Structure 1
């Protein structure tokens, strides 16, 4: 009978013991009140309290926390923009009492200060300055929050401007401006590349023309030298310069026709293009034939004169004594 009664007693004692002890997690502080009055602050580990008299009224998180605040405001150039401000804060261990009893809702308090600072700073800037000076906005928010929240036991670790979102139409206009700017730069690069190509091509053409002109000059120099020699040869056989020139022109004319005719795939036909062309050609042909005949006659005379001078006289052999008549 005594053993049966001992079991409920032990169970009751166990529950009473549980009422005396409690645990606090790491990076957490527990607030103990006795009859509604602040008693103590307990940190992590196994803790004791008096049942019925002592009561855990709250727990404070001592970890670094982050609060994201979305603020909509207007810039100096009348552009509505939304800024996302991330605030990292922490409850100071030595000021857990102030954090718990002085401030009812810390998130709302921090949000209010963020709104106040952002709406005081951003209207002083143009939209482009907001993007460029977002660190200045974050520093201003941190400074203001530190001054206000330190009295409540909160330490502002860092503030960040994580997003800047202008109005949809403004973003579309900015995208068009950026696209136009990039197209302008691309056009400048393309124009520069085209200019380089044109300059290189012009230099190549100039060099080609220079070499071509040099070749033509050399060719004409050799032609002139050949013509000079031809005229000199013709003058030596009694043909004057005018007739020699006509003969050379006609000869070159027929050489050209011959070279054109040798091309098997050509379909070019050369015809006179003036009324006097036929008679001029005929006169040139007659002059060339006359000159040719004169050259032939002169060459025959020279050959005959040369043959007579070089012919040796035949010696008559002496007759024998039998052939002599006494």
Structure 2
């Protein structure tokens, strides 16, 4: 009876011991085996066997790329406190699983310490604006330092990134005000430039308008003069001399002007001489003005000629022909 009980127990124990010698390793994982507490070897992904009770699985090492985020608070060269978030991507080297498992107790703490050391050595050399502009330099410095330190422990640093730069709240507020003021300054400059362009364009348009207006007035007066010249020629052909023709034209234009003013219903009150003698008086006044203007012009020309070419004074002490008069 007792034999029948012991046999199944032994079979069960044998099966347990047998199955305890079989183990499976997942992809991108490495298993460290020990025999009586001593390192035996590593096993990669797949189905593996070990001696039950004698061989033990000491640990499993993740061979995937891992990421560790480290938040570092430090001070810049211009005395601004800033927080930097450093993301470190690292991986265990497959050929150095022994070093990664036995040499380093806590790889995360080790990496964090090196990140703090490098960042607090590099950032205090830079001003706040330089920290934003040269964040890649900080990441490169962290990676270089970590690679030198962690390769001895079987870890490879894939990439280091400065993913966030967070200055003090008061500093960010001041930077935002400076940025807003700078943008307002640029906007004011654009508005002023637009106003200047409009003023210049308006001035050019007015100048062009004045030029065309002056040209039109000149053409109008030229045609009027040509018409008057033709009118005088016509009157001369019928036996009227130039002076009488001019008086007749002035009188005619005088009455045409009065008629034109009378046709304007909304015009202001204008008092003009309307007697027949008025035209003759205007003609005489014009002739007198032209004569006086010509006389004044001739006198000014003579005065300028004397000023430019003064007469030479004769020297009484030296008669003509002597050496001192030459």
Quickly name the TM-score band, shorter chain normalised: 0.7 to 0.9
Alignment match, 1:127: 128
Asked whether the equivalents of residues 251 and 279 of structure 2 are also in contact (C-alpha less than 8 Å), the reply is: no
Confirm whether residue 114 of structure 1 aligns to residue 129 of structure 2.
Answer: no
For the residue of structure 2 that corresponds to 1:267, the secondary structure is: coil
For structure 1, which segment, 161-170 or 21-30, has the greater mean C-alpha deviation from structure 2 after superposition? 161-170
8 Å CA contact 1:20–1:48 kept in 2: the answer is: yes
- What is the match of residue 227 of structure 2? 226
Matches within 5 A, 1:62-211: 62-211=63-212
Looking at structure 1, the residues matched to 268 and 209 of structure 2 have their Cα atoms a distance apart, in angstroms, of 31
Deviation at 1:197, TM superposition (A): 3.4
Conserved in 1, the CA contact under 8 Å of 2:247 and 2:279?
no
Q: Deviation at 1:55?
A: 2.0
Contact 1:246–1:284 (Cα < 8 Å) also in 2 = no
User: TM-score w.r.t. structure 1 length?
Assistant: 0.75
Q: Could you tell me whether the CA contact under 8 Å between 1:23 and 1:44 is conserved in 2?
A: yes
Alpha-carbon spacing, 1:4–1:255, altered in 2? closer, same or farther (3 Å): farther
Deviations 1:132-151 (A, max 9, x none): 11111111111111111111
Structure 2 counterpart SS, 1:222: helix
Q: Distance in 1 between matches of 2:143 and 2:242?
A: 112
Using the alignment, how far apart are the partners of 1:12 and 1:286 within structure 2?
Answer: 149
Equivalent position SS for 2:221: helix
Does the 8 A contact of 2:61 with 2:97 survive in 1? yes
| Structure 2 counterpart of 1:19 | 20
Moved more, 88-97 or 199-208: 199-208
- Matches of 2:227 and 2:275 in 1, distance apart? 26
Single out whichever of 3-12 and 199-208 deviates more from structure 2. 3-12
In the TM superposition, 1:306-321 aligns within 5 A as none
**What CA deviation, in whole Å up to 9, does each residue of 1:61-85 have, x standing for no partner?**
0111111111111110111111111
Asked if 2 retains the 8 angstrom alpha-carbon contact of 1:90 and 1:157, the reply is yes
What's 2:269 paired with? 270
In structure 2, C-alpha distance between the alignment counterparts of 1:94 and 1:269, rounded to whole Å: 110
Task: Sort the Cα spacing of 1:109 and 1:286 in 2 relative to 1 into closer, same or farther, 3 A.
Answer: closer
The root-mean-square deviation of aligned C-alpha atoms, in Å, is 2.9
Give the whole-Å Cα distance in 2 for the aligned partners of 1:172 and 1:254. Answer: 81
Q: In the TM superposition, what is the alpha-carbon distance from 1:224 to its structure 2 partner?
A: 1.6
Residue 282 of structure 1, aligned match among 265, 275, 279: 275
- How far off is 1:283 after superposition? 5.5
1-structure distance, mates of 2:242, 2:100: 129
What is the alpha-carbon distance in structure 2 between the residues aligned to residue 13 and residue 269 of structure 1?
133
- For the residue of structure 2 that corresponds to 1:78, the secondary structure is coil
Structure of greater Rg: 1
Q: How far does residue 35 in structure 1 lie from its aligned partner after superposition?
A: 2.8
Q: CA offsets, 1:108-129, max 9 Å, x none? A: 1100100000000000011111
Gaps of 5+ in 2: 282-326
Counterpart contact for 2:67–2:90, Cα < 8 Å: yes
Distance change in 2, residues 1:199/1:11 (3 Å): same
Q: 1:259 to 1:3 in 2, by over 3 A?
A: farther
Structure 2 CA distance, aligned partners of 1:107 and 1:181? 44
The number of equivalent residue pairs is: 279
Give the CA deviation at 1:189. Answer: 3.4
Normalised to the residue count of structure 2, the TM-score between the two structures is: 0.75
Deviation at 1:44, TM superposition (A): 1.1
The 10-residue stretch of structure 1 (157-166 or 197-206) with the greater mean CA deviation from structure 2? 197-206
Cα deviations by residue, 1:255-296 (Å, 9 ceiling, x for unpaired): 234345556xx4224332xxxx5xx433646969xxxxxxxx
1:52 maps to which residue?
A: 53
